[in-house]
Amino acid sequence: MPLNKPIREWLPSAWRLGLLLMLVAWAGCGALGAAGLPAEWLWRVASLCALLMGIAVVWYWRVVLAPINGFTASAKRLHSPEGNSRLRAPRAIPELRNLASVVNAGLDQVLALTRELQSTNDELAHELRTPLARVRGNLEMMLDKSDNPQAKDAAARSLEEVDRATQLVQSILTIRGGDHGALRLFRQATAIHQLLATLVELYSPAAEDRGLSLKIQDGLDMVWQLDRSLIMQAISNLLDNALAYTPRAGKITLRWQAEGTSLVIFVEDTGSGVRPEEMEWIWERYHRGSSSVIRHPGIGLGLSLVRAIAHAHGGSAGVTNRVTGGASFWIKLPQP
Amino acid sequence: MFVLLVEDDPELGRQLSSWIKGEGHRLHWLRSGTEALQWFADQRCDAAILDVGLPDLDGFAVVEGIRRSGVEVPVLFLTARAEIADRVRGLAAGGDDYLTKPFAFEELMARLEALVRRSQSKQPGVRRLGNSTLDPLRRRVICSREAVELQPREWSLLEVLMRHEGRIVPKPYLLEQVWDIRFDPGTNVVDAMICRLRRKLEVCGSNIKIETVRGKGYAIEQTHP
């Protein structure tokens, strides 16, 4: 414990109260002794005082301190978007019980809103995906049955557009859900090395075609509770960016490390890095970095999606420029 | 095969029945979950396509119902919900596969065929295609005298394409079968992998050709030995 911290910060308050009472008792006994009471009596009074003090400290601990510590623990769990904890303190003093019930009413409201957002998200998905499916079906029919090359070409292009629109709908719904704690995660124990290795295998041919090297920097193997599919999508968005913005002969490195009780996954490149004024801005919806030529339509939502997925896991995402040049994008995932 | 379709959307239902019948299969189309439960009381099919968002009972409840009464037909869910949690719920309810709307018709057929094949469980051994012999144990393609060894993902890519020979395999289905990924990355990762596979096949003199069909996917071209 650091010594420069004021005493009151690290001395638990129950002990402080105890010490205070002990000082009062000691002063009292001194006064009684001075008043000429016999030593035997003095002992009895002192023991009685000690007993009362003990009772007072225990009472204070049980109805004030323990409930407050409990509140702190529940509030910490609230940080996680899947957290559904409430403040509970059946034995606390009435003032604290009141506080708990007021806060819980607020939390109930938040939960109700989150549920509503979840169900509107489901409805929206249904409302948007069903017409897209009808259109897609008809276009496919047109592509299959038409003998006219121009009609065939138009149908093929439209099919690609429909698929892009579908992906966009999905991204927007995921961002909406992730940003507001309404994304349902399917967490499973996932070996981080294996997850990254799959992505490297998937991206290697595309990276080679662009004259880029794509590698994993091995770390301690870790198994983490996460939504494999969403985290893969987040890292794959970071890889899409790295492939698009790193010049030929560049290097892209995937690595991970533990930081405290969190796991941090990095995607590092040897591109031109991110301008300081863009570091926050690029994570906003519908933004595309200005430093590059637009090569990939639809990449604009990529980073907001990464951040939303990190938030849904109770974590965060960000970027730093490396001293050696290039950007280092990271996703931090706390232990659930 | 005989397919039962349970779908309340008239337009999708119409498209699906015309496609599936066009492929030479028999099809019966029901519009609600209750009707489906009643139908299964005394009739059977080779595969069932169930919409999840039905007006009365949802598709999950229908599957739970028919599984309770001991019906083992392969079931494919069609749904507008894309989250993995929903998918897991569908499979836990007793479904066999799960396809999100909008979907490519070829993908639906590829999945249905795979389901029906799985329930008959045939194990593929060494097989011939064009002038090449494919050895699944060593992941090798052997042509006349030369042999080329494929990397695991390249092999599974070729395998999925071969399993659905004569069909155009859409990209999302390849991504799921080969990499277990249920989203389409922004980079042209599948294209790049297909190109690499084509080069390897060319190098060993194989006449297996993988065609790219715009707007639809990839297909093994019919080859002659």
CATH number, position B21: 3.40.50.2300
Say yes or no: B51 and B12 in one domain: yes
Say yes or no: B168 and B140 in one domain: yes
Domain C-terminal end among B76, B96, B120: B120
- From B37's Cα to the closest Cα of chain A, the distance in A is 24
| Partners of A316 in the β-ladder | A332
Q: How many domains does chain B have?
A: 2
Task: With respect to residue B225, please indicate whether it lies within any of the assigned structural domains.
Answer: no
Q: What is the pLDDT of residue A196?
A: 96
Task: With respect to residue B23, please indicate whether it lies within any of the assigned structural domains.
Answer: yes
Cβ pair B102:A166 closer than 8 A: yes
Say yes or no: B114 and B137 in one domain: no
3-state secondary structure at position A167: helix
Full residue range of the structural domain in which residue B155 is found: 127-220
- From B109's Cα to the closest Cα of chain A, the distance in A is 13
Q: Which residue of B has its CA nearest to A160?
A: B215
Using a CB-CB distance cutoff of 8 angstroms, which residues of chain B are in contact with residue A208? 192, 196
Say yes or no: B107 and B143 in one domain: no
Domain C-terminal end among B120, B136, B158: B120
Say yes or no: B16 and B116 in one domain: yes
Of B179, B186, B215, nearest to A302 by CB-CB distance is B186
ipTM attached to this prediction: 0.87
Q: What is the pLDDT of residue B2?
A: 94
Q: Which two tokens stand for residue A86?
A: 């409430």
Say yes or no: B27 and B115 in one domain: yes
- From B106's Cα to the closest Cα of chain A, the distance in A is 10
Say yes or no: B72 and B113 in one domain: yes
What is the C-alpha separation between A258 and A252, in angstroms, rounded?
20
**Cα distances (angstroms) measured from residue B95 to each of A317, B16, B105, B107, B174:** 36, 19, 19, 17, 21
Q: Which residue of B has its CA nearest to A300?
A: B186
- From A276's Cα to the closest Cα of chain B, the distance in A is 25
Chain segment B170-180, per-residue pLDDT in tens: 999 999 999 99
The reply to whether A246 touches chain B by the CB within 8 Å rule is no
Say yes or no: B61 and B150 in one domain: no
Q: Which two tokens stand for residue A123?
A: 């409805």
**Cα distances (angstroms) measured from residue A179 to each of A119, A234, B51:** 15, 14, 29
Domain C-terminal end among B120, B145, B162: B120
What is the C-alpha separation between A307 and A296, in angstroms, rounded?
20
Longest dimension (CA), chain A: 119
**Cα distances (angstroms) measured from residue A273 to each of A83, A239, A240, A283, A318:** 36, 14, 15, 15, 13
The reply to whether A140 touches chain B by the CB within 8 Å rule is yes
Q: What is the pLDDT along chain A (336 residues), one digit of tens a residue?
A: 444 444 445 556 666 777 787 788 778 777 877 777 777 777 887 788 788 888 888 888 888 888 888 888 888 777 666 667 788 877 788 888 888 889 889 888 888 888 888 888 888 888 899 999 999 999 999 999 999 999 999 999 999 999 989 988 888 888 888 887 788 888 999 999 999 999 999 999 999 999 999 999 988 889 999 999 999 999 999 999 999 989 999 999 999 999 999 999 999 999 888 888 888 888 876 655 444 434 444 446 889 999 999 999 999 999 999 888 899 999 999 988
B190: domain CATH number is 1.10.10.10
For residue B73, give the nearest of B95, B98, B57 by alpha carbon: B95
- From B194's Cα to the closest Cα of chain A, the distance in A is 9
Cβ pair B216:A156 closer than 8 A: yes
- HSE at residue B154, side-chain half, CA atoms within 13 A, is 22
Q: Which two tokens stand for residue A255?
A: 């690595």
Say yes or no: B27 and B113 in one domain: yes
Say yes or no: B107 and B40 in one domain: yes
Using a CB-CB distance cutoff of 8 angstroms, which residues of chain A are in contact with residue B179? 198, 201-202
Say yes or no: B59 and B138 in one domain: no
Using a CB-CB distance cutoff of 8 angstroms, which residues of chain B are in contact with residue A139? 215
Task: With respect to residue B11, please indicate whether it lies within any of the assigned structural domains.
Answer: yes
Cα pseudo-dihedral A241, A245, A249, A252, rounded to 10: -30
**Cα distances (angstroms) measured from residue A157 to each of A133, A135, B45, B210:** 16, 13, 37, 21
Using a CB-CB distance cutoff of 8 angstroms, which residues of chain A are in contact with residue B103? 133, 136
Of A134, A205, A208, nearest to B11 by CB-CB distance is A134
Helices (H), chain B: 10-22, 33-42, 59-68, 84-92, 105-120, 152-163, 171-179, 189-203
Domains of chain A: 7-78 (no CATH), 105-179 (1.10.287), 187-334 (3.30.565.10)
Pairing of strands B127-129, B97-100: unpaired
